[in-house]
Amino acid sequence: MTEPSHADRAGMRSLGHLLRPHRKSLAAAGLLALLNAAAALAQPLLVRRVIHDIQTGRPRAAAVTVLVFALVVAAVLSGLQSYLLQRTGEAVVLSTRVQLVRRLLRLPVTELDRRRTGDLISRVGADTTLLRTVVTSGLVDVVSGLLIAVGALVAMATVDLLLLGITVVAVTVGFTGAIVVVRRVRPASLAAQTSVGTMTSGIERALSGVRTIRAAGAEEREEAAVTVFARDAFTAGLQLARLRALLGPLAAVAVQGAFLAVLGVGGARVASGTISVGDLVAFVLLLFLLVQPLAQGIQALTAVQTGLGALSRIQEVLDLPAESASDVVIADLPVSASVEVRFQDVDFAYAKGGSVLRGTTFVAPTGRRTALVGPSGAGKSTVFALIERFYEVSSGAVLVGDQDVRNLDRAQLRNRMAYVEQDAPVLAGTLRENLLLGRPGAVDSELLAALEQVNLLELAVRSVEGLDAQVGDDGILLSGGERQRLAIARALLSRPALLLLDEPTSSLDARNEHALSRAVAAIGPGTTVLVIAHRLSTVVDADQIVVLDRGTVVATGTHDELVASSPLYRDLAARQLLV
């Protein structure tokens, strides 16, 4: 047998880590397996006794009763063990999923940019399921199987040494062949699970763009693309199936060979009077007991190797550091109501792609409303991402409340800000839960007032459940504009020191645009507002407008000042019929 590889050892270590919290259940299952093994081993020896008693004309009810009892006990114990293992298997899957979700939700945004969502989802769904099999048809079976096998060998030695020798040779040959095959299962399983991940991300991408696909009549093209991934998964699955299929015949040859040899040689020995019929029957029953756990052991090793393939994908995510893992907090945000935001000569580039911000410098004064405008792709949303500290600047500094954001506690920083994304998502839950995220202690009248501020009160009466109506995929479906306004209501409720509002380009009609501008204007000096404005009409009355072009601030001023001084702004305004 080859030495276990580094990957095998690392895999076994992380498997041990995942199983550690369940060690009591596993130990209980192991104990049941031991008792079960003892009950199973006792049976052939009891049968021998019964046959012997019958042959000598002294049948005894007691031996038969004990045999039946051992049979029933073995059956009950095996049922209990099976349930306990299944339950532990489910618990291992659950705790792994919880760990994965906890880590996924805390991964740095840069890491999430790099990875495909569908593949991450498949790690939580498909990969964790394979761990169940490791526990249910895996570890305990190997332990109990080994015990039964050793017990059977010892019992065989008491019956006939020659037959034992024949058995050992046949079984060793078969088992060694099987181990060689089993060791190739882990890489094959990893390949299979990786292609399932790729396929899941293909489907996820296609479904999220299904309207565009339908509108463009591109179903066949997408179907072909996803089918390629599905075929890759099929090919990887076949490779795994081939390995598993090899195991069956290998085991069968070894087992059949052992049985035939034992029956042939054993028959001759009975005929010559060296052993009795009872001995031969007991030996054959013991052979059953030996072979069954060995086959189970091989199956278990296969399951463990398959699980290790999936586990390496799970462990890869669990090993990624959380967003704040290397943070050093050396400053506190001032407790004053609103805060100033200052960009000092900031350069920034995403991991993929060229430089996005170049020497960006501006100040958003405390308690004022500053608008960021500029052509598409100028870097406006990137400015927000840097304030939220989703990414770190390449050079220069971003200061919030006079503190470099790199010195602040991320949670504290984000706690003081509200961020309304351009394509504001609705979170799972009810209307109330979505709003309470802004301010957990708010009462219904405050929630309704916030909805009214953004002209969304109608949402609370649309369903008889009012604020308790589910929103999003499971309930009331909201339009893009409604989602955005709900997010703004949530932001207003939180009374943030800093409100970052990435305004939608097209989701708002004139009436709602007006309601939104009114709500933002009414926020008051307790909040510094930074708003990315695609429609300049919503920010003509901002205290200050910062014009961004290809990552650089090209002008700053009020609407009237900029119309007079900035050609780019004048051009943007002219296109929107504002001058």
Q: Which residues bind ligand ATP (CB under 6 A)?
A: 113, 350, 352-353, 356, 374, 376-382
- Of 44 and 374, nearer to ligand ATP (C-beta) is 374
- Of 149 and 532, nearer to ligand ATP (C-beta) is 532
- Of 299 and 382, nearer to ligand ATP (C-beta) is 382
Report, in Å, the least distance between residue 378 CB and ligand ATP: 4
How large is the angle between the packed helices 219-271 and 185-208, nearest 10 degrees? 150
Report, in Å, the least distance between residue 550 CB and ligand ATP: 9
Which residues, in sequence order, are CB contacts of 6 under 8 Å at separation 6+? none
Q: Which helix (H) or strand (E) holds 345?
A: strand 341-349
Which residues, in sequence order, are CB contacts of 470 under 8 Å at separation 6+? 429, 430, 476
Report, in Å, the least distance between residue 521 CB and ligand ATP: 22
Cα distance between residue 566 and residue 361, in whole Å: 17
Please say whether the beta carbons of 315 and 362 come within 8 A.
no
Would you tell me how many other CB atoms lie within 10 Å of the CB of residue 391? Answer: 18
Report, in Å, the least distance between residue 388 CB and ligand ATP: 13
Report, in Å, the least distance between residue 108 CB and ligand ATP: 12
Cα distance between residue 532 and residue 527, in whole Å: 16
Please say whether the beta carbons of 307 and 282 come within 8 A.
no
- Of 100 and 383, nearer to ligand ATP (C-beta) is 383
Report, in Å, the least distance between residue 126 CB and ligand ATP: 27
Report, in Å, the least distance between residue 360 CB and ligand ATP: 11
Report, in Å, the least distance between residue 502 CB and ligand ATP: 7
Please say whether the beta carbons of 470 and 429 come within 8 A.
yes
- Of 57 and 354, nearer to ligand ATP (C-beta) is 354
Please say whether the beta carbons of 182 and 247 come within 8 A.
yes
- Of 44 and 379, nearer to ligand ATP (C-beta) is 379
Would you tell me how many other CB atoms lie within 10 Å of the CB of residue 455? Answer: 20
- Of 184 and 550, nearer to ligand ATP (C-beta) is 550
Report, in Å, the least distance between residue 373 CB and ligand ATP: 9
Cα distance between residue 256 and residue 529, in whole Å: 80
- Of 197 and 379, nearer to ligand ATP (C-beta) is 379
Please say whether the beta carbons of 315 and 168 come within 8 A.
no
Closest CA to 371 of 206, 562, 131: 562
Please say whether the beta carbons of 314 and 100 come within 8 A.
yes
Cα distance between residue 141 and residue 293, in whole Å: 8
Please say whether the beta carbons of 481 and 440 come within 8 A.
no
- Of 278 and 379, nearer to ligand ATP (C-beta) is 379
Q: How many helices (H) and strands (E) does the chain have?
A: 21, 10
Would you tell me how many other CB atoms lie within 10 Å of the CB of residue 545? Answer: 24
- Of 113 and 345, nearer to ligand ATP (C-beta) is 113
Please say whether the beta carbons of 550 and 386 come within 8 A.
no
- Of 171 and 378, nearer to ligand ATP (C-beta) is 378
Report, in Å, the least distance between residue 120 CB and ligand ATP: 16
DSSP-derived 3-state class of residue 521: helix
Cα–Cα distance list, 370 to 414, 415, 499, 542, 547 (Å): 19, 20, 10, 6, 11
- Of 56 and 376, nearer to ligand ATP (C-beta) is 376
Report, in Å, the least distance between residue 107 CB and ligand ATP: 14
Report, in Å, the least distance between residue 292 CB and ligand ATP: 56
